[in-house]
Amino acid sequence: MIEMNKIVKIGIIGLGQIGIYLYNELNIKKKEIEKKTGKRIKIVAISAKNKNKKRRFKFSKKIFYKNPLQIFKNENIDILFECVGLSDGISKKVVETALKNKINVITPNKALIAKHGDYLAKLAEKNNVCLEFEASVAGGIPIVRTIKEGLATNKINKVYGILNGTTNYILSEMENNNESFKRVLQKAQKLGYAEPGNPKLDLNGFDAFAKIRILSSLSFNTKISKANCIMEGIENIKLEDIKIASQLGLRVKLLGISEIINNQLFETVHPCLVSKKTYIGNVNGVMNAVITEGKPVGESILQGEGAGPGPTSSSLLSDLFSILRGNIKYPFGIESVKRKKITIFNKNNYKNSLYLRFIVKDKQGVLSSITNRLAKYKISVKRIIQTPDKANKEATIIIITHKTSEINANKCLSIFKNNNNTLKFLTLIRLYN
Amino acid sequence: MIEMNKIVKIGIIGLGQIGIYLYNELNIKKKEIEKKTGKRIKIVAISAKNKNKKRRFKFSKKIFYKNPLQIFKNENIDILFECVGLSDGISKKVVETALKNKINVITPNKALIAKHGDYLAKLAEKNNVCLEFEASVAGGIPIVRTIKEGLATNKINKVYGILNGTTNYILSEMENNNESFKRVLQKAQKLGYAEPGNPKLDLNGFDAFAKIRILSSLSFNTKISKANCIMEGIENIKLEDIKIASQLGLRVKLLGISEIINNQLFETVHPCLVSKKTYIGNVNGVMNAVITEGKPVGESILQGEGAGPGPTSSSLLSDLFSILRGNIKYPFGIESVKRKKITIFNKNNYKNSLYLRFIVKDKQGVLSSITNRLAKYKISVKRIIQTPDKANKEATIIIITHKTSEINANKCLSIFKNNNNTLKFLTLIRLYN
């Protein structure tokens, strides 16, 4: 616990978009922080790869360290912000070193927590300091604190939502402006929503998956799972599918879902078709939303801006407040030794209705050859829409199936993929619920 | 701060719907609470007006007190739950006595906190104990904690939402089932959403107003205001208005709104017409939703079940966890002496577009007599819909105005109300934004 009346010394590692914004906020809000927590803070050390890069705000070069590990030798810091963002490497090294030196750590780094959270939490507990990561999930939405504290006594059995602002923005823009994935991605990169260099981790679902892993372990009081689940991104979503879905009253959303099914854990990230009438179907643009289902509280929804330095910094500061005001808390809400391992639900048994899109030669018998094959794998059809394209002697066939298991769907559809040229199988999107 | 390894003694005053549910939950969740907080709890005293009333769960009569004040003499309790629910009287007395005896208090009592929160918070601080009231606003939604902790460093300038589940249920049902206010109210009472005896405090906006007062003071770090603002309920909303609104793409919602305008506080509760396309326009049934607008976090939304013993108990237990886990916190997030008084915005200057419904004699000149009068008070018309009712030689006139101030609207409309019998002025509903 941080003593009264002493100046709380702070270090920031990483001065990218988030780090530099945080640096500026801490300086601006010093007075307010003192007013609200009774503690005075001072940034005594900062570190980044490149001292001279152009940044949004100025910083004091006097407290700059080229090597972040040097900080632990020279300064007696109380709280360290890790804003580098790697899942391993220097991110892990500085957090580890800080905790071992009994320094509280605050980080927005979901990749690090999703990969090493169990180990780091234990380390924090052993050294009797805090490891806080509110900003690692859903930017400005205080979902970590809400699950750990606000919903602490509920039995949560499901947590899901839109956890990646970039992909949600892309899907919304494609629908609203009738633009292709590629074109909207370029726009997103220009606006700073998607990484200019490598947007892959957003687009392929990795980012959302790291967040869902953190949410699972908080919600179910379990260790972070390492299981290989279904992780699909939005790279294969075509404008055509979005338009057809819209006609059917549906919308494509990249959902992260974590659920306890028969006492087993199921975690997944994949594009879903959701009804436009549902709540989640109306969370558009860069917004994030997390829905928890628990007892006795029922369904709780938290929505807010999911990305960007403003919302992220809001969460980083809420962690700072928590440390300044309170005493030591367990990083995952309960003691590490009490967080249990959980069996993993077999993903082959995951059941969904499916949306399938084929392009076929427009001739007799094609439709029945598709439906026969589906029937063979016990996939029953709920709805078929066939649209001829006379000019090209082709037709588009859309099939919505009743619920079927992943394993059946995979077996059946792999055959379509490798089929003779009477058919081209294009898209599979799971329906949500 | 509660010491380790000691049994935490709990008292519950009031065994109505919420008190008895809480009693049962605490007993069921003893083990889980110990696991998560490291503290063992024991209910050592309960009290209610009527010992023998039929209740949902059984309780131990051995620890029952007829007079709650006797508990303070006989038992050495650590935490008191006040579940009586009065704004004064015995509710105030037990909370006051508890705090003076250095006992932590948890209450869902919005009427008490809205009226005496400043005084009680000071008392809690003086005696170095907690006064927690998460359950006083929006049932299971952890909005109090979110504002105090999750959004602590944001500058919030507006907080608003649907804060009363009963009225929201009634409005939704009227729209969905084409039923009158009176009929739906009876249904709500049967289902236990509205008080069977006296639903007045829900319907006239009082309940929502108490909540908005609490939210204001948390959001803006101000003392609870005592100002006389606009408080209107839904008693005068007619099915006819709901149907017309629906045709216009609008929906009637009872909103609580608190906002800083020119550094002055404006708080209000009144029915609003909101677009069906907005988020708030789609929060239906018994759901509650609270929206905060802050910097840097942007817009945050929390939605969840707003009433009933389940969600309320979830919030009461989150307060219990907070006390068991943490050290003493200021009831309103910051020290009482630092919460400032704030000037009140003059409600006469509150500006809205208005929806007005008149029934008029279907003859020439009536419409122009209305619009002339509106023009005289500088109320400009955006849209007029006139529907003749030939059989009765009447017509309905709906007018949507441009934004106008309360004072102009009041002056102008009071004349319509007392007008000669060419016109009948029926309804005014403000548009939201």
What one-letter code names the amino acid at A377?
Y
Q: Are residues B52 and B107 in the same domain?
A: yes
Run of H or E residues at A70? helix A68-74
Domain boundary among A293, A313, A347: A347
- Min Cα distance B194 → chain A (Å) is 19
Domain boundary among B89, B122, B140: B140
* Residue A139: CA count within 13 A, CB half-sphere: 26
Of B38, B322, B334, nearest to A36 by CB-CB distance is: B334
DSSP string, A136-168: GSSTT--HHHIIIIITTTSEEEEEEEE--HHHH
- Is there a contact between A152 and B321 (Cβ–Cβ < 8 Å)? yes
- Min Cα distance A317 → chain B (Å) is 6
Q: Are residues A42 and A120 in the same domain?
A: yes
Residues from chain B that touch A151, judged by Cβ atoms under 8 A, are 142, 314, 318
Mean pLDDT, chain A, integer? 91
- Min Cα distance B297 → chain A (Å) is 4
Compute the Cα dihedral for A295, A297, A298, A304 and give only its sign.
negative
Using the Cβ of A300 and the Cβ atoms of chain B, whether some distance falls under 8 Å is answered with: yes
Using the Cβ of A296 and the Cβ atoms of chain B, whether some distance falls under 8 Å is answered with: yes
Residues from chain B that touch A288, judged by Cβ atoms under 8 A, are none
Q: Are residues B98 and B151 in the same domain?
A: no
Query: Residue A197: which pLDDT band, with cuts at 50, 70 and 90?
Result: low
Using 70 as the pLDDT threshold, list the residues of chain B that sit under it. Answer: 1-5, 194-197, 418-423
Query: Residue A115: which pLDDT band, with cuts at 50, 70 and 90?
Result: very high
Per-residue pLDDT at A175 exceeds 90: yes
Count of Cβ atoms closer than 10 Å to residue B9 Cβ? 17
- Is there a contact between B253 and B171 (Cβ–Cβ < 8 Å)? yes
- Is there a contact between B302 and A302 (Cβ–Cβ < 8 Å)? yes
Q: Are residues B119 and B21 in the same domain?
A: yes
Question: Which residue in the list A115, A211, A223, A253 is annotated as catalytic?
Answer: A211
Residues from chain A that touch B297, judged by Cβ atoms under 8 A, are 140, 304-305, 310-311, 314
Residues from chain A that touch B333, judged by Cβ atoms under 8 A, are 36
Residues from chain B that touch A314, judged by Cβ atoms under 8 A, are 151, 153-154, 294, 296-297
Is A401 inside any structural domain?
A: yes
A326, B321: Cβ pair inside 8 Å?
Answer: no
The pLDDT score that the predictor gives to residue A207 is 93
Six-digit token string for B388: 């003749």
Any bridge partners for residue B134, and if so which?
A: none
Of A153, A314, A326, nearest to B317 by CB-CB distance is: A153
The pLDDT score that the predictor gives to residue A416 is 77
Is B326 inside any structural domain?
A: no
First to last CA, chain A: 46
Q: Are residues A201 and A149 in the same domain?
A: yes
- Among A136, A221, A325, the strongest candidate for a mutation testing the B interface, having the largest count of B CBs within 10 A, is A325
- Is there a contact between B107 and B83 (Cβ–Cβ < 8 Å)? yes
Per-residue model confidence as pLDDT tens digits over B287-300? 999 999 998 888 88
B149, A318: Cβ pair inside 8 Å?
Answer: yes
Run of H or E residues at A124? helix A110-126
B33, A153: Cβ pair inside 8 Å?
Answer: yes
Six-digit token string for A86: 């790697």
| Mean pLDDT across A195-218 | 89
The pLDDT score that the predictor gives to residue A415 is 78
Count H helices, E strands: chain B? 14, 18
Any bridge partners for residue A358, and if so which?
A: A397, A425
Instruction: Report the chain B residue with the minimal C-alpha distance to residue A139.
Output: B297
Residues from chain B that touch A140, judged by Cβ atoms under 8 A, are 296-298, 300
Q: Are residues A237 and A295 in the same domain?
A: yes
| Mean pLDDT across A360-386 | 87
Q: Kindly report the CATH number assigned to the domain that includes residue A394.
A: 3.30.70.260
Q: Kindly report the CATH number assigned to the domain that includes residue B286.
A: 3.30.360.10
Is B15 inside any structural domain?
A: yes
Question: Which residue in the list B39, B110, B115, B211 is annotated as catalytic?
Answer: B211
Using the Cβ of A267 and the Cβ atoms of chain B, whether some distance falls under 8 Å is answered with: no
DSSP string, A181-225: HHHHHHHHHHTTSS-SS-THHHHTSHHHHHHHHHHHHHHHTBPPP
Is A185 inside any structural domain?
A: yes
Number of domains in chain B: 3
DSSP string, B232-294: --STT--HHHHHHHHHTTEEEEEEEEEEEETTEEEEEEEEEEEETTSSGGG--TTEEEEEEEE
Instruction: Report the chain A residue with the minimal C-alpha distance to residue B1.
Output: A327
The C-alpha R_g of chain B, in whole angstroms, comes to 24
Is A19 inside any structural domain?
A: yes
Q: Are residues B178 and B297 in the same domain?
A: yes
Is B190 inside any structural domain?
A: yes
The range of the structural domain enclosing residue B57 comes to 7-140
Going from the C-alpha of B134 to that of each of A347, B14, B140, the distances in angstroms are: 39, 18, 9
Q: Are residues B19 and B125 in the same domain?
A: yes
Residues 117-136 of B with CB under 8 A from A: 134
- With the CA atoms of A370, A418, A356 and A422 taken in that order, what torsion angle do they form, in degrees rounded to the nearest 10? -50
In a 3-state reduction of DSSP, which class is residue A39? coil
Domain boundary among B111, B140, B169: B140
A296, B314: Cβ pair inside 8 Å?
Answer: yes
The pLDDT score that the predictor gives to residue A369 is 84
Is B320 inside any structural domain?
A: no
Using the Cβ of B276 and the Cβ atoms of chain A, whether some distance falls under 8 Å is answered with: no
The pLDDT score that the predictor gives to residue B23 is 97
Q: Are residues B83 and B161 in the same domain?
A: no
Q: Are residues A25 and A103 in the same domain?
A: yes
- Is there a contact between B351 and B431 (Cβ–Cβ < 8 Å)? no
Per-residue model confidence as pLDDT tens digits over B338-387? 999 999 999 999 999 999 998 888 777 888 888 888 999 999 999 998 88
What one-letter code names the amino acid at B32?
E
Residue A211 annotated among the catalytic residues of the structure:
yes
The pLDDT score that the predictor gives to residue A255 is 98
- Is there a contact between B374 and B401 (Cβ–Cβ < 8 Å)? yes
- Min Cα distance A16 → chain B (Å) is 17
Is B45 inside any structural domain?
A: yes
The pTM of this model reads 0.83
- Cis, bond preceding B296 (omega within 30 deg of 0): yes
- Is there a contact between B142 and B315 (Cβ–Cβ < 8 Å)? yes
Instruction: Report the chain B residue with the minimal C-alpha distance to residue A283.
Output: B279
Which one has a higher pLDDT value, A288 or B415?
A288
Q: Are residues B162 and B107 in the same domain?
A: no
Q: Are residues A112 and A161 in the same domain?
A: no
Using the Cβ of A29 and the Cβ atoms of chain B, whether some distance falls under 8 Å is answered with: yes
- Among B24, B292, B300, the strongest candidate for a mutation testing the A interface, having the largest count of A CBs within 10 A, is B300
Per-residue model confidence as pLDDT tens digits over B122-168? 999 999 999 999 999 988 888 999 998 888 888 899 999 999 999 99
- Residue labelled with tokens 């939402």: B161
Query: Residue A114: which pLDDT band, with cuts at 50, 70 and 90?
Result: very high
Task: Name which of B14, B22, B11 is nearest B101 in CA terms.
Answer: B11
